Structure 1
Amino acid sequence: MSSLGSLEADDGRQPWRNVPREVALNFRPFVPLVAEEAVAAIRRQVPEYVRPADPKYDEVLRGAVEKAIGHFVDLIADPDTPWDDTLEFFRDVGYGEAREGRTLDPWEVALRLGARLAIRALGEQSGRLGISRQTLGHLAEGVFAYLEVLSAAAVRGHAEATARAAGELQNRRRRLMELLLTDTAAPQAVEDLARLARWPIPRTLCVVVFHERGEIGFRPPALPPEVLVDIDRGDPCAIVPDPDGPGRRAMLNGALHGWVAAAGPTVDPMADPAQTARSLRWARAALALARRGLLPDDRLVVATEHMPALAVMRSEELVALVAARRLEPLTGVRPSQRVRLARTLLECLRCGFNATEVAGRLQVHPQTVRYRLHQLQDLFGEELYDLERRLELEMTLVAWLARALPGAASADSEADPVT
């Protein structure tokens, strides 16, 4: 009887042991009638158990009531009657309730309703059966202690089913992620698996990949339930619905605190399911640059906001060769000055050499920009204004600055004179 838990070690918590055994013999003929009345009462008072179109369910309900009453009478006749079949039966009841999406509240109501009817029936027959008030008290105690055991078995089954359903749902969502992240996902297959995974297919999504910073103890990303996430992959990632919606960027930054994270481009997953895999590829590329210190990693790195660096850095060897030739004049100045001049030249190319606009971007005085521009003219000569080479020079500067020491590309010195 190890399944009874704490009841096993305390006979005082098994009140049916105090009931004379002949009570079982006298009451047994009434079991079918009491069970019938209990089933009828449950149908009247517990709407969840009324299923006229499901005779099998009615059969299960009747079987549960008869089994409970019959086993309780057996315990009175022999307190050492085995429990295994009964506990397994009611564990299955709890399991079935969970699989049907119900809580155990209606079942508890039905159980206690049946118990009250059984006690009332015993009371009505007590005079004819010679049952004393004291014995009736023991019987009532026994019934409710017995219900405690049955309830525990049902709760255990319900918990097992709930955990299994959660595991199944998580597995389906993981399989859906794997499908979406392949180049060959078929729209119908995505729709079918999304339905099983209870995941509404969004109009847009992006893939976010992340890497643990390791600064504090492990803390999984606190992402909302509509986000598909798998941190057990070799490269942990998430599929984020509606990434450009209000508050989504802030949500991701908060949820991924403690992780270096990068988001791929926003795509329509059903226009072309392969687009999700492309979002993943660009997210990986952005994360790789962020982990090398070539992109800022203090917040979510959004790939589309770093397109020049990503595009150029896909051909690093070629960039290095071009930079060695096109930016060779900068090697003649001090390293600290070299970065400032490179940033100034990049902004000049972007702003059409408008000193005021460049100063605003660099947050320096316009005269500082003009001073640096004179230096650049001395270094590069007329090549500085070669329209045919401007795009090449701009892309080279983007890549060169991305490879600069972390922080150097965003710092600007106050040492430049203002004339």
Structure 2
Amino acid sequence: MATTSGDEPWTSVRPAVAPLLRAVTAELADQMVAEIQARVPEYSRPADDMYIKVLHLGVAEALRRFVDRIERPRQPWDPEVFRAIGRGEAAEGRDLEPFQTAMRLGARVAWRRLTEQAEQLGLDPPTLYDLGEAIFVFLDQLADAATDGYNEARAGAAGEMERRRRRLLDLLLSRPPASPEAIAGLAKAAGWRLPRTVAGVALAERDDYRAPSLPPDVLAGLDHGDPCLLVPDPAGPGRVRAVEAALRGFRAALGPPVPLASAATSLRWAREALALAARGVLDDRRGVLRCTDHMATLIVFRDEELVAVLAESRLAPLAHLRPAQRDRLAETLLAWLRCGRAAGEVAAQLHVHPQTVRYRLRQLEELYGDQLDDPDARFELEIVLRARQARGGPAARD
């Protein structure tokens, strides 16, 4: 029966009906529980006491609250009991659907029994129709309350797990390293399997920061001052590719794989690679920088002041030349050192005629003399020439 009251449908049912209903609630509760256990598999397990307790509590409380609302329709309704049931289902790791199915089935049982006993209870058809509407409105309210509690608990649990994972990341990146026992304990609490190796990922800050969709076992510190990630078992099949796909559009660097206790070291290398990319020393335009592809450059730039002192000494024979000539000879010398001193390969790499390379090599021999026969001198020359090239020299980058 349609009504327009703000308290509908409760004000449509005469309060005098409440004592009639209360007299049959115990019998009705037993019938509802029996029907639910017969038709909802989750409640047909006699060994699962918790499910049965929740079922009896839910049915008894729903009937009591329903009758109370018929008797006092304008009294504020407190849904906390059903919120608590929803939270309890979440805490037990169960899905909420069986409980809601049980409540819907219970409502149909209640409506059917009331229609069967309408004459005995003195319920005329209009009252019976209003009761039916009230039952199903009440059912929706119960379902909403249970869902709110369930979602609240799930969100709280997820938030707590995320807090534990952030604490674990901080512990793994601490210097000096935390004890293995402390790490193992927190990893267990965070649901994180301890890997044999890890790799740190450094991320550049950005104004339009969005959280990447990462594999679930990657520890994320996106709210750190220097955003970072920790990738477990980076050598596993497809591991790095999955992280790179998630970071598409980000400026990021992946540190080398290291034992778990050295996680901070891997992240430090990743941050140094990212800093070199920001200076234009490393090229990150093709995606995530992998430190393992640029170890020589990272080592060379680990102490730039020392490399500068070495360069001043080893490149002194070129200092008096014109800039263009100095660049050509430096480029040729680096290619010659890389190619095993083969003029033909140098010519192919530099895209010049072999005779041009031989002419330049003769110039270099005149400038350097016996130094080019000294393995230590050649090694130091390659270091400083690589550094010169990475800082913007004319040769192609490694």
- TM above 0.5, yes or no, is yes
**Counterpart of 2:8?**
14
Correspondence for 2:29: 35
Distance, in Å, in 1 between the alignment partners of 2:96 and 2:150 is: 8
Q: Which amino acid aligns with 1:136?
A: L
Task: Tell me if structure 2 keeps the 8 A contact 1:13–1:145.
Answer: no
1:302 to 285, 290, 314: 290
State whether residues 205 and 226 of structure 2, in contact with CA within 8 Å, keep that contact through their aligned partners in structure 1.
Answer: no
Kindly indicate whether residue 300 of structure 2 is the aligned counterpart of residue 348 of structure 1.
no
Q: What is the identity, as a one-letter code, of the residue corresponding to 1:14?
A: E
Q: For the Cα contact (< 8 Å) 1:262–1:301, is it kept in 2?
A: yes
Whole-Å separation in 1 of the counterparts to 2:28 and 2:353 = 95
Q: Is the 8 A contact 1:99 1:161 kept in 2?
A: yes
| TM-score, normalization by structure 2 | 0.89
State the alpha-carbon separation in 2 of the partners of residues 362 and 158 from structure 1: 68
Contact kept? 1:15, 1:138, Cα under 8 Å: yes
SS in 1 for 2:24: helix
Q: Does 1:233 align with 2:221?
A: no
Q: 2:363, 2:34 → 1: CA distance? A: 98
Q: Structure 2 counterpart of 1:238, which letter? A: L
Residue 215 of structure 2 corresponds to 224
Matched with 2:274 is: 287
State the one-letter code of the partner of 1:331. Answer: A
Alpha-carbon displacement from aligned partner over 1:61-118 (angstroms, at most 9, x marks no partner) = 212211111111112122113311xx01111111122222233211111001111121
1:277 aligns with 2:264: yes
Q: CA deviation at 1:16?
A: 3.0
Match of 1:71 among 59, 65, 70: 65
Amino acid at match of 2:272: A
Residue 284 of structure 1 aligns with an amino acid whose one-letter code is R
Aligned residues: 394
Contact 2:83 2:148 in 1 (8 A): yes
Aligned to 1:153: 145
**SS of structure 1 residue aligned to 2:201:** strand
1 CA distance for matches of 2:192 and 2:397? 45
| TM superposition score normalised by structure 1 | 0.85
In the alignment, the residues of structure 1 paired with residue 57 and residue 347 of structure 2 have an alpha-carbon distance, to the nearest angstrom, of 84
Matches within 5 A, 1:91-110: 91-110=83-102
* Alpha-carbon distance in structure 2 between the residues aligned to 1:20 and 1:47: 37
Superposed CA deviations along residues 150-186 of structure 1, whole A, max 9, x for unmatched, are 1111111111112111111111111121122234233
Q: Output aligned runs, 1:164-179, within 5 Å.
A: 164-179=156-171
Letter of the 2:330 counterpart: A
Matched, 1:186 2:174: no
Corresponding residue of 1:26: 20
Residue 123 (str. 1) matches residue 115 (str. 2): yes
> Residue 319 of structure 1: SS of its match in structure 2?
helix
Q: Find 1:381's aligned residue among 354, 364, 369.
A: 369
Counterpart among 196, 199, 208 of residue 206 in structure 1 = 199
Q: Which amino acid aligns with 2:201?
A: V
Choose the corresponding residue for 2:313, options 313, 325, 336. Answer: 325
Structure 2 partner of 1:410: 396
Identity of aligned residues (%): 51
Assess if the C-alpha contact under 8 Å between 2:32 and 2:59 holds in 1: yes
Residue 280 of structure 1 aligns to a residue in which SS?
helix
Counterpart secondary structure, 1:278: helix
Bigger CA drift: 22-31 or 327-336? Answer: 327-336
Secondary structure (helix, strand or coil) at the match of 2:235 reads coil
Q: Which secondary structure does the structure 2 equivalent of 1:315 belong to?
A: helix
Aligned-residue Cα RMSD (Å) equals: 2.6
Contact 1:48-1:106 within 8 A present in 2 as well:
yes
Render the CA deviation track for 1:112-169: whole Å, top value 9, x for unaligned: 1111121122112211122122221111111001111111111111111121111111
SS in 2 for 1:257: coil
The change in CA–CA distance for 1:255 and 1:364 in structure 2 (over 3 A counts) is: farther
**226-235 or 371-380, larger mean C-alpha shift:** 371-380
Other structure's SS at 2:297 match: helix
C-alpha distance in 2 between matches for 1:411 and 1:263? 19
Q: Does the 8 Å contact 2:90/2:153 carry over to 1?
A: yes
Choose from 229, 254, 265 the match for 1:263: 254
Indicate if the aligned counterparts of 2:314 and 2:381 stay in contact, CA closer than 8 A: yes
Closer, same or farther: CA 135–268 of 1 in aligned 2, 3 Å: same
Distance 1:61 1:210, change over 3 A: same
- Preserved CA contact (<8 Å) 1:205 1:266: yes
Q: What stretches of structure 1 of length at least 5 have no aligned partner?
A: 1-8, 413-419
Q: Residues 309 and 103 of structure 1: is their aligned pair in 2 closer, same or farther, counting only changes over 3 Å? A: same
Amino acid in the other structure paired with 2:210: R
